[in-house]
Amino acid sequence: MRVWPAFKTGLLVVLVGTSLVLSEELWTGGWGGVGEVNYSPEPSLPQASVPTEYAATTPCRIVLTGTDPSVSALFMPGTEDYKNWMTQLGQAHVYSLHMVSNLPKSFVRSVEYDFGVNMNYQELIHYIPGLQPSVLPKQGQTVYLYQSESAGPVMLALVSGAGTYVAQTDLSIVNFASMFRHAILLDPWEVWNRQSGAFVPKNSIDMFRATVFVNSHSIIPLVHSFFVNPQALTSVPESPTMVLWTDGSRAVWWDQQKHTLTYADPNLASSAASRTMAVTDILNYASSHGGAPKNSILVENSATANDASWTLRPYAFGFPIIGSNQSIVLQSVGGHVAKYQLPINELSFGQKNLVHIIGASPLAKILHKLMPSTPLNVLSVELGYALLPVDSHREKLEPVYLVSQSGMPLWEIDAVSGKVLKGMKIS
């Protein structure tokens, strides 16, 4: 994502605002000319489709871990196992909820539900209807079903920045243990770095390779949707592939190379209001500005009392689309949108076929050739899909491993062939 320094944004906005006052010529003509304003009336952009609140906040993944912390089972959205474990969570009745300082140091069995956002009680009961009303401020971003003893009850834990809460459930101990044992045996994943989420399938698994058709949004209605008075806009070509629109206060950039629009309101930087946006606020905003794929999941990148950043990330066949500009990124200050980036391309899926991807051992060998002195446990590895260009209207959806270290992407590796797609090539 292109980051625009505050001083550059402010300077551009001031210059363009001044030009609007000084030159009447800027108020005629089409949007495409240098220094021209799109003054033609445009119909308001209709509300577009977005994920439901339930779909946008569903867990990004479910991770099962037993007594061996080096092996887990991992289930992605849409799979049958994922649905079965969501059903277990939904069937749990919860008793004696109380706050604890820490979870047990080890579990006999744990099922970890990794939600992308920190949810309050009203949002949690969509997934845990058996969560009873309580004076405790129930919140959760990571939810666990676990047993600390083989014959012990199935417990529930809610973990968030507000604290950790645990409770007993009425789930069948026998059924829970049986489901758990079956999952670990049939779908083992090696854990290279649990903290960074580096899970790699122990054996080859099947994923899809698909043709993707690309259709572009109409640019002008999208640009106009960010301004109260679109007739007051002027455009400034900043480069052969970048166009800026502004009304003298706010700005939108069209990156024709990355196929994105980026809106920014620099005036919110000094806001003193103390409020953050709710999930429904984010989805409503996205609906007013081009929409979002219905199979997108919302992830909270950072949050304070006054500002926050989210990513609405699209998924395909259960795995995230990574290493592309297809995600929506929103930053807020005081409950107002300060920055918003969205893709201008809409994707539709065509023909698909199953392919076998490489597992942990072949991937480890590839990474050892790339970084002989780097241990695997310092890396973050994510399995997902990349969009590879075919022509102006088509792309290929390809399974890939994205390898990062300390938040910095290092390699994008074809998960079928093992070929390095991005990063230093193997010699």
- pLDDT tens digits, residue range 97-119? 888 998 988 899 999 999 999 88
Tell whether 285 is covered by a domain. Answer: yes
- Cα separation, 307 vs 19, in Å, equals 32
Tell whether 259 is covered by a domain. Answer: yes
DSSP 32-75: TSTT----S--PPPPP-----HHHHTS-SEEEEE-S-TTEEEEE
Listed range (38-52, 138-152, 217-231, 351-365) with the worst mean pLDDT: 38-52
Give the domain-ending residue among 290, 312, 346. Answer: 346
Partner residues linked to 413 by β-bridges = 401, 420
Q: What is the CATH number of the domain that holds 15?
A: 3.30.310.160
Average of per-residue pLDDT values in the chain: 86
- Cα separation, 174 vs 336, in Å, equals 49
pLDDT for residue 178 is more than 90: yes
Tell whether 202 is covered by a domain. Answer: no
- Cα separation, 420 vs 427, in Å, equals 11
Give the domain-ending residue among 331, 346, 361. Answer: 346
Asked if 304 and 379 sit in the same domain, the reply is no
Asked if 234 and 339 sit in the same domain, the reply is yes
Burial of 133 (0-12, 13-18, 19+ CB in 10 A): exposed
Of the chain, the percentage scoring pLDDT greater than 70 comes to 85
**Which pLDDT does position 176 carry in this prediction?**
96
Asked if 104 and 220 sit in the same domain, the reply is no
- Cα separation, 256 vs 329, in Å, equals 18
Asked if 259 and 135 sit in the same domain, the reply is no
Asked if 219 and 332 sit in the same domain, the reply is yes
Tell whether 27 is covered by a domain. Answer: no
- Cα separation, 354 vs 172, in Å, equals 36
pLDDT for residue 87 is more than 50: yes
Q: Which one has a higher pLDDT value, 41 or 198? A: 198
pTM for this entry: 0.85
pLDDT for residue 212 is more than 90: yes
CA–CA–CA angle 358, 381, 323 (5° rounding): 95
Please compute the mean of the pLDDT values over residues 3-8 and round it to a whole number: 46
Please compute the mean of the pLDDT values over residues 153-164 and round it to a whole number: 90
**Which pLDDT does position 200 carry in this prediction?**
97
Structural domain that includes position 149: 53-192
**Which pLDDT does position 31 carry in this prediction?**
38
CA–CA–CA angle 52, 55, 56 (5° rounding): 85
Q: How confident is the model at residue 88 (pLDDT cuts 50, 70, 90)?
A: very high
Asked if 253 and 318 sit in the same domain, the reply is yes
Asked if 221 and 260 sit in the same domain, the reply is yes
Asked if 47 and 107 sit in the same domain, the reply is no
Asked if 101 and 184 sit in the same domain, the reply is yes
Tell whether 201 is covered by a domain. Answer: no
Tell whether 81 is covered by a domain. Answer: yes
**Which pLDDT does position 37 carry in this prediction?**
36
pLDDT for residue 184 is more than 70: yes
**Which pLDDT does position 418 carry in this prediction?**
96
Q: Which one has a higher pLDDT value, 7 or 148? A: 148
Tell whether 178 is covered by a domain. Answer: yes
Please check whether residue 43 is in contact with residue 49, taking contact to mean a CB–CB distance below 8 angstroms.
Answer: no
- pLDDT tens digits, residue range 59-74? 999 999 999 999 999 9
Asked if 237 and 310 sit in the same domain, the reply is yes
Number of domains in the chain: 3
Asked if 126 and 80 sit in the same domain, the reply is yes
**Which pLDDT does position 119 carry in this prediction?**
86
Q: Which one has a higher pLDDT value, 194 or 120? A: 194
Tell whether 104 is covered by a domain. Answer: yes
Partner residues linked to 330 by β-bridges = 310, 340
Please compute the mean of the pLDDT values over residues 5-18 and round it to a whole number: 49
- pLDDT tens digits, residue range 256-307? 999 999 999 988 765 555 567 889 999 999 999 999 999 999 999 887 767 8
- pLDDT tens digits, residue range 15-60? 545 444 433 333 333 333 333 333 344 456 889 999 999 999 999 9
- Dihedral over Cα of 141, 142, 145, 150: its sign: negative
Give the domain-ending residue among 346, 371, 399. Answer: 346
Asked if 246 and 133 sit in the same domain, the reply is no
